[in-house]
Chain A
Amino acid sequence: GAVVSQHPSWVICKSGTSVKIECRSLDFQATTMFWYRQFPKQSLMLMATSNEGSKATYEQGVEKDKFLINHASLTLSTLTVTSAHPEDSSFYICSATTRVTSTDTQYFGPGTRLTVL
């Protein structure tokens, strides 16, 4: 149980285009989903917290107009990287949880590798 999928697993795009990444909880309802970014040989950095039906809460330094997050249902959250540039190339990982308390486990997706040319 507690499987989270991401689509696509990798994407290559041209500079200036927008890219949408989907995160789905396959066997549970996720009230909260999180989006992380990971650069090579670095740790995961939290970008934003997304609650179903509400606006996402972004971490300091993350541009909300550049990284659009939509959490329209209890099983789906999307991250759209708008007007992508080479510096946006990274490994994007989502996680999902049924409840947000200190004991509740986040289940992570397999990640999406974005390469911007």
Chain B
Amino acid sequence: DAKTTQPNSMESNEEEPVHLPCNHSTISGTDYIHWYRQLPSQGPEYVIHGLTSNVNNRMASLAIAEDRKSSTLILHRATLRDAAVYYCILSGSTSGTYKYIFGTGTRLKVLA
């Protein structure tokens, strides 16, 4: 299973942009990159996903490196509600079953 590497923690000031990096050097050609976030005592919440091109949605933007070995989740204006653990996940197939393998994630702290 392809693995991801993220910094353990990051801090940001409120209303400033946040760039959360993820390395996935062993990504295969068919792996999608998914980002989720998890608040304390809650299930993970979908943020965004992509394959090769950069993606935007109402929550965030996903910038994917040309070689696909890294990606960056961009929160354009951090709010206190964005404080969470952010997980970068590759969905790959093992024997035909696509499953998520969660890494340690990045704990984002937003300062007021």
Contacts and interface: CB of A to CB of B under 8 A. Distances in A.
Q: Do A and B bind each other?
A: yes
Interface of A: 4, 6, 34, 36, 43-46, 49, 57, 91, 93, 95, 100-111, 113
Nearest to B87: A43
Given A46-B100, A46-B101, A102 B31 contact: yes
B99 interface: yes
Contact of B100 (A6, A57, A91, A106): A106
Interface of B: 30-32, 34, 36, 41-46, 49, 51, 87, 91-93, 97-105
Contacts, number: 61
B60 to A, nearest CB: 14
A93 B30 CA distance: 27
B111 to A, nearest CB: 21
A44 B104 CA distance: 9
A108 B41 contact: no
Contacts of A102: 30-32, 91-93, 98
A49 B43 contact: no
A34 B100 contact: yes
Given A93-B43, A101-B98, 13 more contacts: A6-B43, A43-B103, A46-B101, A49-B99, A95-B43, A95-B100, A102-B91, A102-B93, A102-B98, A103-B32, A103-B51, A110-B42, A111-B41
Contacts of B43: 4, 6, 93, 95, 108-111
B98 A43 contact: no
Contacts of B31: 102
Contacts of A101: 98
B31 to A, nearest CB: 6
Given A43-B104, A43-B105, A44-B102, A100 B45 contact: no
B51 A100 contact: no
B85 to A, nearest CB: 8
A6 B44 CA distance: 13
Given A102-B91, A103-B51, A108 B98 contact: no
Nearest to A43: B102
